[in-house]
Chains A and B, each alone.
Chain A
Amino acid sequence: MIAGAWVCLLSPLAGAVAITVAGGRISRSTAAWISVLTTFVAFAGALVAFFGLWAADPADREQVSTAYTWLASGDIEVQLQILLDTLSSTLMLIVSGVGGLIVWYSMGYMKGDEQERRYFAYMSLFVFSMLMLVEAGNFLLMLVGWGLVGLASYLLIGFWHHKPEAVAAAKKAFVMNAIGDATFALALVLLIWATGTVEFGDVFDQVDSLSSTTVNLVALGLLGGALAKSAQIPLHTWLPDAMEGPTPVSALIHAATMVTAGVYLLVRASPIFEAAPDVQHLAAILGAITLLVAGVIALVQWDIKRVIAYSTMSQIGYMFLGAGVGAYGYAIFHLMTHAFFKALLFMTAGLVIHHLEGEQDIRKMGGLKSVMPRTHVAFAVGGLALMGIPIFSGFWSKDGIVSAAFSSGDALGYTLAAAGLVGALLTGLYTTRLYFAVWRGAQSDLVKEHAHEGHGEGPRSMTIPVGVLTVLATIGGLVVIPGVWEPFLHWIDETAEPLVQATVAEDYALSAVAVLLALLGFFLARHAFEKGRQFVTNPGIWRVLERKLYFDEAYDALFYRPAAALSVALRRNVEEPVVERSLDEIGSGAIQVGGEVGRVQSGLLRTYAIAVAFAVSVLIIVFVAVR
């Protein structure tokens, strides 16, 4: 089974290398097929690993496989090793499975793009990096995957590099992620200094013996990395802009997998966070703030992908909330169902955008239901799952997080649960608003224009993955029915024991409230749509929300402008007068000395001969005299 894990890790890498090396010698569709097939091979490897683990004895479900010693420096040895346990095998399945579907979908979406080969090489690179992140057997390898997914994300956001907005968005994502990478790396330095190892098991064994300051700092550093990668406040500003990338990229990287890496880190490093409970609560609080803020901002956005992007931030806020209160099983469960329904939403949005030839503004959409009936069903399923309507997958996972927060039983827990419930209302509102604006009402002019072009709802390579995800988003949540059947939670519990456990009564009571709130949101939004109104009528508040609470402007004023002013001042007062002038002086000084010394070089052969003869005579005299 460990072989399956290695296959899973290396197959996408092989795909990326093959496409890159082959370059122009293979056709675009061959490159696409290489990428799709290697990702599905990875999925097969993940299946082998998963079922091998499933069949294994529960005591034997944590396997480390080491390829070789990667780094050896003094007492520290870092192995190139992968860790296969219940948590990583679950993530492997999600990443390679959903990844395979989305890469397959990309074949249709990217068809005809001049640079398809580059796109698929990047996609394979991303899948490899993400698998590296989840399979890593120590913190340093995880950081390698962590950095590589950031790189792949940067490359794919800026894929259409002729668009200045895309390039700017890519740079922004990279810089924000670099902040997180830096705090992650600092945490590792501290960890190595304190424990002398980066291996998960060894570190967790030693956590209790560390001073609380050290643990808190390490946990804060890791949290910083998680916040940046998962686009949580205050490092969230890059995610909405990242929607400049191709839509399958948004589905894979910025909804299903990479942005949930922070949640994975919180769960993977849960022993460290449990030793630093304040930091863990901070994660939960930031998650709650993000889920509310992102939910509110989603109410006023006009770009179909941005609405879904804010919804992603909001849902990851739920996951942070869950991991922060210690409901690890539910956090990973929501990660999985979210991967299904959010990828589905992005892919249906991609079908719409594809159909309307690039239009993303929902004000120009409307009445698409009769034009794209099957896509409509898929989108509706995604929306229902997102809102947490019973039977659909989001219902089982999201409400579990809320009730887990509630059951922690202190003021913080109640506040977090309340935030989760308000979030359910917001989710109902923005999801319904988006649904009605795109699908219902009268057909807009743009939709009419594209209604009879006869390319249907999209090529089969796009509709089949959407169909599979529709099924998964519907029934994918049925692996946990509180009180009746909870295999998924038990599976994750083997790796990360939860801190809180809601009673079955709490679970169903809070679920009922959440569903009622989501339905309230639905009816309010439908009412508003029928009246042709928006939720926010005050223009001042509207502007604040539309500008995303001025986070970008604040960061601009706080960090960019002082740094730019400092740079200009340094250039004017240090660079030009000190550095450049001193270099000029050195240069002109050398020229002057050269001019003086150059006179000795008269060019007269006889002078040289006399100089040589004279020097030799002197040497002989000295030699004789000294003897």
Chain B
Amino acid sequence: MDGPDVGWYLIVAAILFGIGALGVMLRRSPLIVLLSLEIMLNAANLTLVAFARQQGNLDGQIFALAVMAVAAAEVAIGLGLIVAMARRRVPLDVDQASALRG
């Protein structure tokens, strides 16, 4: 099989996932949080595809396609929410959206 070993793909995916997770944890803008989520999803996709390639079957790739479809839907809803927040002049700051405080 050509190309780098599957371990390298996993390292890249882990780095991407860490970037995404840190983005979710540290950034306040809902837009950036959403983007970071996408990065995490794509990190997962990368591992799926990498393993699919290693195994030599297409299951993982198809699964990755399904994840993309779900991610697209999620982005549509998430962006819609953000637009709605902006329209109602709610501050675009996840720390201030704390109505669920106990």
A interface residue numbers (CB < 8 A to B):
597-606, 609-610, 613
Contacts and interface: CB of A to CB of B under 8 A. Distances in A.
Interface of B: 21, 24-26, 28, 33, 94-95, 97-102
Given A606-B26, A609-B25, A610-B25, A601 B95 contact: no
Contacts of B25: 606, 609-610, 613
A601 B102 contact: yes
A399 to B, nearest CB: 89
Contact of B94 (A599, A605, A613): A605
B31 to A, nearest CB: 13
A601 B98 CA distance: 9
A595 B97 CA distance: 21
A520 to B, nearest CB: 93
Contact of B99 (A600, A603, A610, A613): A603
A609 B28 CA distance: 12
A10 to B, nearest CB: 64
Contact of A606 (B24, B99, B100, B102): B24
A601 B101 contact: yes
A598 B101 CA distance: 8
Contacts of B99: 603
Given A606-B24, A613-B21, A613-B25, A601 B94 contact: no
Contacts of A599: 102
23 contacts: A597-B102, A598-B102, A600-B102, A601-B100, A601-B102, A602-B101, A603-B100, A603-B101, A603-B102, A604-B94, A604-B95, A604-B98, A605-B33, A605-B94, A605-B95, A605-B97, A606-B26, A606-B94, A606-B95, A609-B21, A609-B25, A610-B25, A613-B25
A603 B98 contact: yes
Nearest to A605: B94
A448 B95 CA distance: 95
A516 B28 CA distance: 114
B100 to A, nearest CB: 4
A469 B21 CA distance: 99
Contacts of B98: 602-604
A609 B21 CA distance: 8
Contacts of B28: 606
B82 to A, nearest CB: 13
B16 to A, nearest CB: 15
Contacts, number: 35
B45 to A, nearest CB: 19
Contacts of B94: 604-606
Contacts of A604: 94-95, 98
B62 to A, nearest CB: 26
A391 B21 CA distance: 111
Q: Which of A601, A603, A613 has the most CB of B within 10 A?
A: A603
Nearest to A617: B21
A16 to B, nearest CB: 59
Contacts of B97: 603, 605
A601 B102 CA distance: 5
Nearest to A598: B102
B39 to A, nearest CB: 14
B34 to A, nearest CB: 11
B11 to A, nearest CB: 16
Contacts of A603: 97-102
Contact of B24 (A598, A601, A609): A609
A608 B68 CA distance: 25
A594 to B, nearest CB: 8
Nearest to A613: B21
A609 B33 CA distance: 11
A558 B25 CA distance: 77
Contacts of B33: 605
A597 B101 CA distance: 11
A105 B30 CA distance: 86
Nearest to B27: A606
Given A602-B101, A603-B97, 8 more contacts: A597-B102, A600-B102, A601-B101, A604-B95, A604-B98, A605-B33, A605-B94, A605-B95
The 5 A-B residue pairs with the shortest CB-CB distance, nearest first, are A601-B102, A603-B98, A598-B102, A603-B101, A603-B100
A219 to B, nearest CB: 69
B83 to A, nearest CB: 18
A65 B101 CA distance: 72
Contacts of A597: 102
A6 B102 CA distance: 69
Contacts of A609: 21, 24-25
A599 B101 CA distance: 8
A599 B98 CA distance: 12
A247 B6 CA distance: 100
A610 B21 CA distance: 9
A613 B18 CA distance: 10
Nearest to B18: A613
Contacts of A605: 33, 94-95, 97
A490 B98 CA distance: 94
A148 B92 CA distance: 73
B90 to A, nearest CB: 14
A601 to B, nearest CB: 3
B26 to A, nearest CB: 7
Contacts of A601: 100-102
A602 B24 CA distance: 17
A273 to B, nearest CB: 73
A603 B100 CA distance: 5
B86 to A, nearest CB: 17
A600 B21 CA distance: 21
Q: Which of B25, B26, B97, B99 has the most CB of A within 10 A?
A: B25
Nearest to B30: A605
B47 to A, nearest CB: 15
A612 to B, nearest CB: 9
Contacts of B95: 604-606
Q: Which of A600, A605, A610, A613 has the most CB of B within 10 A?
A: A605
Contacts of A600: 102
Contacts of B26: 606
Nearest to A594: B102
A605 B25 CA distance: 8
Nearest to B28: A606
A598 B102 CA distance: 4
